């Protein structure tokens, strides 16, 4: 049986991002400047409406946040496409200050031609 990680030390098993103590530790380390991390929020828009991200995720670069936005698009398209002939998706990435920094959209259509 392994002992819990010491305060301020990350375990080899990463807890869910939404676990409050984990987020507090990441924010604490990032705010001290130990390594540059920024919080990005991923808002999802589709034909059913919008889902605004209230929690955000930490990434060390804009490129990583961009990759996450594209991964989100892929995952949602995979889940929604089998049930629909038209899927329109957009992921908008906001900074910690609320400014939109990036947007990625995907439109998928399907249908029998004959």
Residue 87: pLDDT band (50, 70, 90) is confident
CA distances from 36 to 29, 33, 59, 73, 80 (A): 9, 6, 8, 26, 35
pLDDT of residue 31 exceeding 60: no
| Residues composing the chain | 114
Residue 114: pLDDT band (50, 70, 90) is confident
Provide the H-helix boundaries in the chain.
20-32, 62-80
* The pTM of the whole model exceeds 0.75: no
Q: 34, 30, 39, 58: which is closest to 98 by C-alpha?
A: 39
User: What does the pLDDT read at residue 109?
Assistant: 87
Q: Which residues pair with 59 in a beta bridge?
A: 38
């Amino acid at each position: 049986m392994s002992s819990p990680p010491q305060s301020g030390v990350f375990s080899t098993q990463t807890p869910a991002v939404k676990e409050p103590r984990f987020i507090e530790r990441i924010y604490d380390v990032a705010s001290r400047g130990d390594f540059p991390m920024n919080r990005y929020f991923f808002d999802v828009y589709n034909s059913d409406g919008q889902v605004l991200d209230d929690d955000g995720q930490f990434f060390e670069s804009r490129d990583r946040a961009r990759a996450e936005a594209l991964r989100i698009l892929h995952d949602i398209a995979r889940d929604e496409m089998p049930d629909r002939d038209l899927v329109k998706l957009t992921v908008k990435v906001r900074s910690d200050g609320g400014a939109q920094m990036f947007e990625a959209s995907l439109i998928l259509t399907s249908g029998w031609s004959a």
